[in-house]
Amino acid sequence: MKIGIIGGGAIGLLIGAYLADEHVVTIITRSSEQAEDLAQHGIHLKKDDQVHIKKVQAASISVLALNDYDLLIVAVKQYALEQIVPALEKVSGTLLFVQNGMSHVPLVKRLSLDKKVFVGVVEHGALKTNHHTVTHTGMGLLKISSYQQNNEAPIAGYSDFPVVYEDEAHDMLTKKLVVNAMINPLTAVLGVPNGELLTNPYFKQLFDSLFEEISVILQFDDCDGMKWHIENVCYKTARNHSSMLRDLEEGRPTEIDSILGYVLTIAAEKKSQAPITKSLYLMVKGKERGRREDTNEVCVVCINRYIGYLARIWVFDCFYHNEAMDEKSP
């Protein structure tokens, strides 16, 4: 099968590396420089202290190229989707979206009226180190579902890259959304690896409070099971830095609008209070703006450190206030 993967980031390269064993894979990149690099070197997949070189084709994005594939996997970030929507609307093949958050759902529903469209969530850990190298930092699953009925999964998995088909697309996306909403913003603001959200008692207090707030907004059927799932992800990826934290560190836009922004939209619709969610959203947006607008690297670091310092004070105040209230309770 001819597979095109739009997006040469960590997830696009990771998926492409594994699918290249059985399919003709083309990585469709934003820059011609990365396309040339991939065409020359292939994808270098680092896993278990070994480097596996996977041969792929590569091209910079163009409308004409997108109709050449049996399956197009859209692996760009949420904020980059708008730029390629006109091209996606002209695609006749099958589409698979693997974004974080849920802001892309209206687009998926619209495209699914006349196309085969799937959504997916990637539970693997991946780190891109240059144009053609990706490190597989944590094993997981690629879960796929369809908004249409009776559509078979467009790809099969392998023992080292399993693919699971889920019947309920909305439930699958919501579960991943909550993991991202809990881990990404907290680690990005606090500047810590995932596991520290559970091992630091102050951060754990904030973690619990955020979960309680989000669970009221999204109304989970099984709150205990959902929280266990999120904590399990934290444990399994304890040493990892979240993608949102890495985006801020490297001066890239984050997906905060499609993650916490989506949660805040639902909260507004339900007239639910969301003070912690809103505070985290504003902190990440503040860090983003500091990165984009200040060209002086020293000033950027100072801004982010100051926001991180304020965030820690805020966490301490929340924890101290709750303990004080507990002591006053009869």
- Which parts of the chain have pLDDT scores under 70? 62-65, 149-150, 291-330
Supply the pLDDT for residue 64: 54
Which residues have CB under 8 Å from 294's CB, separation 6+? 300, 303
Supply the pLDDT for residue 309: 55
Supply the pLDDT for residue 327: 46
List the catalytic residues.
176
Query: Contact, 121 vs 105, CB < 8 A?
Result: no
Q: Which two tokens stand for residue 127?
A: 């780190």
DSSP state of 27: E
Edge-to-edge strand ranges of the sheet holding 43-47: 50-54, 43-47, 133-138, 125-130
CATH 1.10.1040.10 maps onto the chain at 172-328
The CATH code belonging to domain 172-328 is 1.10.1040.10
CATH 3.40.50.720 maps onto the chain at 2-167
Compute the distance between CA of residue 240 and CA of residue 282 in angstroms, rounded to an integer.
24
Question: Is 135 in a helix, a strand, or coil?
Answer: strand
- Segment (H or E) for 327: helix 297-328
The CATH code belonging to domain 2-167 is 3.40.50.720
Nearest to 260 by CA among 170, 156, 180: 180
Compute the distance between CA of residue 181 and CA of residue 266 in angstroms, rounded to an integer.
13
Supply the pLDDT for residue 159: 83
Q: Which long-range contacts (CB under 8 A, 24 or more apart) does 299-304 make?
A: 300/251, 304/191, 304/248
pTM for the model: 0.84
Supply the pLDDT for residue 294: 53
Q: How far apart are the first and last CA of the chain?
A: 67
Supply the pLDDT for residue 302: 53
